[in-house]
Amino acid sequence: MTIEQAQQQVDHWIKTYGVRYFSELTNMAVLTEEVGELARLMARRYGDQSEKESDRGKDLGDEMADVLWVLLCLANQTGVNLTEAFAKNMEKKTQRDKDRHRHNPKL
């Protein structure tokens, strides 16, 4: 599935089952919440915090997909084509950082 297809699939789902998009500001808050849930799981699973019993059954991929879902919603709502935006962003990073990391003694 391409990013564009994912945007279309989310839009179809919202219009079929979700009635309508939440407001952009609400979705921004939901995105923040979803990123927080992912961060909590990452910190407990890969960081220094111990995992709680309630975290053990959580699926890392599902948490990431929740973040992606809301990001796709926001892109649809604001008219952003994420395929184009991602391609431009990759080009920007490549031009800006093509030698930066190779010469970083910390890496």
Model-level pTM greater than 0.95?
no
Distance of alpha carbon 29 from alpha carbon 45, whole angstroms: 24
Residue whose entry in the numeric block shows the structure tokens 């995992």: 51
Residue 14, amino acid: I
Domain ranges, ordered by start, for the chain: 3-82
Task: Give residue 11's Cα distance to chain centre.
Answer: 16
Structure tokens at 17: 């089952």
Q: What is the pLDDT of residue 103?
A: 85
Instruction: List Cβ neighbours of 80 (8 Å cut-off, separation of 6 or more).
Output: 74
How many helical (H) and strand (E) elements, i.e. helices and strands, does the chain have? 4, 0
Which CATH class, in words, describes the domain spanning 3-82? Answer: mainly alpha
State pLDDT tens for residues 26-85. 999 999 999 999 999 999 999 999 998 988 899 999 999 999 999 999 999 999 999 999
